[in-house]
Amino acid sequence: MINQNIQNEASIAAITALDKPCVWCITIPASDKGQLEEVVLQVQGVLCLKELPPVVTKFGKDTDKRHLCQYISLTGLDVPAFNVCVESLLEIHSICSCTFSESAMEPLSLDSFLGYPCINISNHYFTS
């Protein structure tokens, strides 16, 4: 059932540019005609690695604070629902790769934790 829902959403989903601020979103038609609704992805898994606030180390003058980031790694320990999420992320990445130039996207690389697929999620504290 999960897979069918994802396939139904994927068949009507689009990558949409929004401005103010300029962002790209995966959208589907909303129940209101002419309106779009942003797709929200949820992944449930086991937290296997993390680097999250608070930052407790002091940084020297040579440290470039623009590159500070936080991250988590999730695994599903071979739970089928998590594996479907991994497959869906690969499909979404493939769709986005067709929309954007190769240099505009970071490659999607899956790691493993104890031999099971692992998703790495990160973002920077500061942007330029």
Per-residue confidence (pLDDT) for residue 3, from 0 to 100: 43
User: Hey, where are the domains in the chain?
Assistant: 1-40, 41-128
Pairing of strands 23-29, 14-18: antiparallel
Q: Work out the number of other CB atoms within 10 angstroms of the CB of residue 108.
A: 14
Dist CA 43 CA 84 (whole Å): 10
Quote the pTM value.
Answer: 0.70
In angstroms, the Cα distances linking 7 to 15, 49, 65, 93, 122 are: 16, 30, 41, 15, 26
pLDDT at residue 9 in the model: 57
Sorted by sequence, the CB contacts under 8 Å of residue 33 that are 6+ apart come out as none
pLDDT by residue for the chain (128 residues), tens only, comes to 344 444 455 567 888 888 877 888 888 888 877 788 888 888 899 999 998 877 777 766 666 666 778 899 999 999 999 999 999 888 888 888 888 887 888 888 889 999 999 999 888 777 65
pLDDT at 1: 33
